């Protein structure tokens, strides 16, 4: 009998002498490195339920959480996310915490387009095309306070013209010469210019529709105008949507669910 065979026999004898390592799951020691191996995968059923459910639907999230006997849901309103744990247990009898359900709201394509336009500057044709692409979400107001539909708003953007004016003065003295100059660029479109773009959309599935007002600024640093958009009160709107998220989620969950603001990790 060679040396390797003798070592394998000795390993099997040692493993048999150690016996049950004392875990709740059926395990045994195997000779290779004496590693603790779980036999759960060979059983008809697992020893406990594990799983991680994830969705972007508030309704489906509520249906899943409500189907469990007990849940603790941690809500991160800044990130528009929530995570439920069904087996955390308590300090006296802790659980593994490996059965979870996660909710992460996704921005709609319309809201993404609105946010992408915020702070961006457009050439006239670019902005007109953007308005036409999202015409079902857009209305506007001109500088005279008149309401504009998306078609009139796009036409007003295309008709913006730049007018340049110059003023020069020159003075010669016996001991000096003075020259002054001033150039001015003025953007006009008839009697008015586009002032506000109203973008009406559903920001997240499950929340309510909102109207975002975008201030239009005309940049006249060149002979061709560029138009810059800025959402008015964006931070306030985000805070309102976060509060609405928590309220809608509360309405979807049963009374036996504990809802907490914040996040949990272990």
Domains and CATH numbers, the chain: 1-47 (no CATH), 50-106+242-266 (3.30.720), 109-168+185-232 (no CATH)
More confident residue, 228 or 164: 228
Predicted confidence (pLDDT) per residue in 42-55, tens digit: 787 888 888 999 99
Span 173-219, pLDDT tens digits: 444 444 444 444 455 555 678 999 999 999 999 999 999 999 999 88
Q: What is the DSSP string of the chain?
A: --HHHHHHHHHHHHHHHH-----SS-EEE-TTTT-EEE-GGGSSS-SS--EEEEES-HHHHHHHHHTSS-EEEEEETTTTEEEEES--B-SSSB----EEEEEE--B-HHHHHHHHHTT-EEEHHHHHHHHHHTGGGEEEEETTS-EEEHHHHHHHHHT-EEEEEEEEEEEE-SS-EEEEEEEEEEEESTT--EEEEEEEE-SBTTS--EEEEEEEEEE-SSSS-EEEEEETTHHHHHHHHHHHHHHHHHHHS-TTEEEEES----
Of 110-119, 168-177, 185-194, 219-228, which has the strongest mean pLDDT?
110-119
Residue 107 has pLDDT above 90, yes or no: yes
């Amino acid at each position: 009998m060679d040396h390797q065979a003798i070592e394998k026999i000795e390993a099997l004898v040692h493993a048999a002498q150690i016996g049950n390592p004392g875990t709740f799951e059926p395990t045994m020691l195997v000779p290779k490195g004496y590693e603790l191996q779980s036999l759960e995968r060979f059983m008809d059923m697992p020893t406990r339920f594990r799983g991680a459910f994830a969705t972007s639907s508030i309704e489906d999230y509520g249906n899943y959480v409500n189907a469990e006997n007990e849940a603790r849901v941690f809500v991160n309103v800044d990130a528009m996310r929530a995570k439920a744990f069904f087996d955390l247990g308590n300090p006296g009898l802790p659980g593994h915490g490996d059965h979870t359900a996660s909710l992460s709201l996704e921005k709609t394509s319309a809201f993404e387009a609105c946010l992408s336009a915020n702070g961006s500057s457009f050439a006239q044709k670019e902005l007109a095309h953007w308005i036409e692409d999202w015409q079902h979400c857009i209305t506007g107001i001109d500088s005279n306070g008149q309401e504009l539909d998306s078609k009139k708003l796009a036409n007003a953007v295309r008709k913006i013209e730049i007018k340049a004016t110059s003023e020069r003065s020159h003075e010669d003295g016996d001991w000096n010469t003075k020259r002054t100059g001033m150039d001015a660029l003025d953007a006009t479109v008839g009697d008015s210019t586009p002032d506000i773009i109203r973008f009406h959309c559903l920001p997240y599935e499950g929340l309510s529709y909102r109207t975002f007002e975008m201030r239009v600024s005309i940049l006249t640093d060149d002979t061709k105008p560029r138009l810059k958009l800025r959402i008015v009160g964006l931070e306030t709107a985000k805070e309102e949507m976060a509060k609405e998220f928590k309220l809608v989620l509360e309405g979807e969950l049963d009374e036996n669910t504990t809802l907490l603001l914040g996040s949990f990790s272990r």
